[in-house]
Structure 1
Amino acid sequence: MNLTTLEYFVQVATEGSLTKAADKLFISQPTLSRHMKNLEAELNTQLFVRQSHSLKLTENGITFLKATTKVIQDVDALKHFFDQHQTASNPTHYLNVGYLENFRLEKMYAVLDQISHENNIQFSLFPDTPTNLSKGLSSGKYDLIYSLRPYTTDNVLFKSTDFLENHLQIALPINHPLAMKPQLSFSDLKNETFILLDRDKSPIIVDNVLSQGIKNGYNLKANYYVKNLSQGLSMTALGNGLAFLYSAMNDGQLEKQYRIKIKDLTDNFGNQNIVIAMKRSVDNALIGSIFEKIIDTKKNR
């Protein structure tokens, strides 16, 4: 086991994709895949659940990511141990950031990268579910989180602001009769069968979707419950039902990738935007300062 492999592991875990990680690391995908398989063999444990178009950390993978991140941080600090410029007045600061799985957060990466270079901050990024992000921010596991507005707005302990526009969409099989309509509402979906995300992954959103069906005079028929976006869209492509997703998950390539159609839903679901949040009562003044810098940097981009 070497430091390079650990750095590769963190990149793959952050991207959730060998292809995206390989592009950022400037190495070939087969080489990166070999590094990950060798690492799993050396640890004698499975770090990733390999899906058709993505990778997801196992429970052991999540634990190992936290330990690996600390090792890399410690090694980075050692590199500057005798650096004359690394004085007590300008140390490297480390912040843990939780973010949503399956979402396109290029703006998050760009903003954090800019702030990191300008303020001598090293961010460690951890993918998580909306529920766990809120719990992690409350417990101090995360210093900042990027989450969905419904999971932060009612928590008086959190300070949050919108970061990225986001709204609900529906995925249909490519030849579905409703695929010809430019946009849809829940009233159009009365006779459909659905594929829903496991409730423990995002209970507020699942409850919201179910309540919209009731408002329109029917109960949603869910034949399948899935753990992630890739699984849901794959089942939609096979004609097993319609799947909900967010616009911030859609990179414009999903329709082609899965051979499906994706439509906006016109119903009013309230604010579903991606927000950045911090705890109001936090001892570390740096977190509040970085929170404000992230907001300012995003406005100026």
Structure 2
Amino acid sequence: MELRQLQYAIQIAADKNFSRAAEKLHIAQPSLSQQLSKLEKEIGVLLFHRNTNAVELTHAGSLFIEKAQKVIDMVEQIKQEMDDISQTRKGRLIVGSLPITGAHVLPRVLPVFQQRFPEIEIVLVEDSSSRLEQLTANGQTDLSLLSLPLQDEALSYQPLLEEEIWLALPPQHPLTEDASGEIDIGQLEQEPFIVLKKGQGFRKITLDLCGQAGFAPHIVFESSNIETVQSLVAAGMGIAFVPAMVARGQWSQITPAYSKLSGNPTRTLVISYRKGRYLSKAAEAFIATMREVLQEQASDIHSPA
């Protein structure tokens, strides 16, 4: 059994298609099929069901892929440790990020990091909160930018930034008259809410804030994009909670009105990684750079434009 065969099997499982997997692995499809058949013959079990439309894991295949990912991750960690021991400043760091949060945070952090460590390659992976937690727990990202609470107990984290949560309102909404003060969440029980779709961490924050105020929000629209949420609010379709860093972004000619909420609810941005995972010097440097830059620019991030 060879490491490359494990990598081949993992890629096939991810794509559920031999052609796409072969393309990403930069090998010919017949060679990929041959290597998989050789692996299955060696271990004595069938890893995939092949059919004309897709490739599906067998029960044995699911167990095999889970173990193979751990082996590949362990090999990568050994390489990182050896690189650090030899004081190599070259490397590759896979960083997961929520799309909108990353759009506001990473442009501040990445230029500083690349100036300090020009030979370290950063690979960005953008996905939903639930998917990023899974990728991080599996070792498929070195670090991921997420917000609390984390659902996967396999993850550790370091806090980066405490950020206020604001209320977005249609421009002509009666509550905009109170926008100079603070609005109690309990006042919003009868309001139509626009929220992010399931799997997005900020959706849970919205549900939790309403639950703490004693009601379940009346959800009228869902979106996977916080910018779309704000556009729908601006169009008068409902209200929404939004992180301060994305409030009043320059994403539309029509923007909602914003108000602070009583009690000043916040969300906590964190950098997460798998418990027990070796953090390379590159990863530690990235965390330190991110914390430094965000602390320096915290007032700008917290203040809506």
C-alpha distance after superposition, 1:1-34 (max 9, x if no partner): xxxxxxxxxxxxxxxxxxxxxxxxxxxxxxxxxx
What residue identity is the alignment partner of 2:259? Answer: K
2:244 is aligned to: 247
**Alpha-carbon distance between aligned partners in 1 of 2:177 and 2:250, rounded to the nearest angstrom:** 19
User: How does 1:136-151 map onto structure 2 within 5 Å?
Assistant: 136-151=135-150
Residue 97 (structure 1) aligned to one of 90, 95, 108 = 95
**1:126 Cα offset (Å):** 2.0
User: How does 1:1-301 map onto structure 2 within 5 Å?
Assistant: 90=88, 92-103=90-101, 105-119=103-117, 120-151=119-150, 157-181=154-178, 182=180, 183-202=182-201, 205-250=202-247, 252-253=249-250, 257-267=253-263, 269=265, 272-283=267-278, 285-294=280-289, 297-298=292-293, 301=296
Q: 1:216 to 1:144 in 2, by over 3 A?
A: closer
Q: 1:237 to 1:114 in 2, by over 3 A?
A: closer
**Alpha-carbon distance between aligned partners in 2 of 1:97 and 1:122, rounded to the nearest angstrom:** 10
Q: 1:276 to 1:67 in 2, by over 3 A?
A: farther
Q: Give the paired residue count.
A: 213
Query: For structure 1, which segment, 276-285 or 231-240, has the greater mean C-alpha deviation from structure 2 after superposition?
Result: 276-285
SS in 1 for 2:267: coil
Q: 1:89 to 1:273 in 2, by over 3 A?
A: closer
C-alpha distance after superposition, 1:27-56 (max 9, x if no partner): xxxxxxxxxxxxxxxxxxxxxxxxxxxxxx
Conserved in 1, the CA contact under 8 Å of 2:137 and 2:152?
Answer: no
What residue identity is the alignment partner of 1:229? Answer: I
SS in 2 for 1:188: helix
Conserved in 2, the CA contact under 8 Å of 1:161 and 1:277?
Answer: yes
Conserved in 2, the CA contact under 8 Å of 1:186 and 1:267?
Answer: no
C-alpha distance after superposition, 1:266-292 (max 9, x if no partner): 2465x5121122234224633553355
What residue identity is the alignment partner of 1:100? Answer: L
Looking at CA atoms only, which structure, 1 or 2, has the larger radius of gyration? Answer: 2
What residue identity is the alignment partner of 2:96? Answer: G
**1:224 Cα offset (Å):** 1.6
> Structure 1: where are the runs of 5+ without partners?
1-62, 69-87
Q: 1:165 to 1:108 in 2, by over 3 A?
A: farther
**Alpha-carbon distance between aligned partners in 2 of 1:116 and 1:231, rounded to the nearest angstrom:** 31
SS in 1 for 2:133: helix
Q: 1:219 to 1:114 in 2, by over 3 A?
A: closer
**1:199 Cα offset (Å):** 1.9
Conserved in 2, the CA contact under 8 Å of 1:278 and 1:291?
Answer: no
What residue identity is the alignment partner of 2:254? Answer: Y
**1:143 Cα offset (Å):** 0.8
Q: State the TM-score, normalizing by the size of structure 2.
A: 0.59
Q: 1:294 to 1:157 in 2, by over 3 A?
A: farther
**1:295 Cα offset (Å):** 5.2
Q: 1:156 to 1:108 in 2, by over 3 A?
A: same
Q: 1:263 to 1:67 in 2, by over 3 A?
A: farther
Q: State the TM-score, normalizing by the size of structure 1.
A: 0.60
What residue identity is the alignment partner of 2:289? Answer: I
> Structure 2: where are the runs of 5+ without partners?
1-19, 26-85, 297-305
What residue identity is the alignment partner of 1:192? Answer: E
Conserved in 2, the CA contact under 8 Å of 1:169 and 1:262?
Answer: yes
C-alpha distance after superposition, 1:172-226 (max 9, x if no partner): 1101010121221211212211112112333xx4344334434434332112222
Conserved in 2, the CA contact under 8 Å of 1:162 and 1:274?
Answer: yes
Conserved in 1, the CA contact under 8 Å of 2:109 and 2:293?
Answer: yes
Q: 1:244 to 1:293 in 2, by over 3 A?
A: closer
**Alpha-carbon distance between aligned partners in 1 of 2:165 and 2:187, rounded to the nearest angstrom:** 15
Q: 1:268 to 1:193 in 2, by over 3 A?
A: same
Conserved in 2, the CA contact under 8 Å of 1:104 and 1:251?
Answer: no
What residue identity is the alignment partner of 2:141? Answer: Y
Among the aligned pairs, what percent are the same residue?
A: 21
What residue identity is the alignment partner of 1:286? Answer: K
Conserved in 1, the CA contact under 8 Å of 2:95 and 2:141?
Answer: yes
**Alpha-carbon distance between aligned partners in 2 of 1:194 and 1:299, rounded to the nearest angstrom:** 30
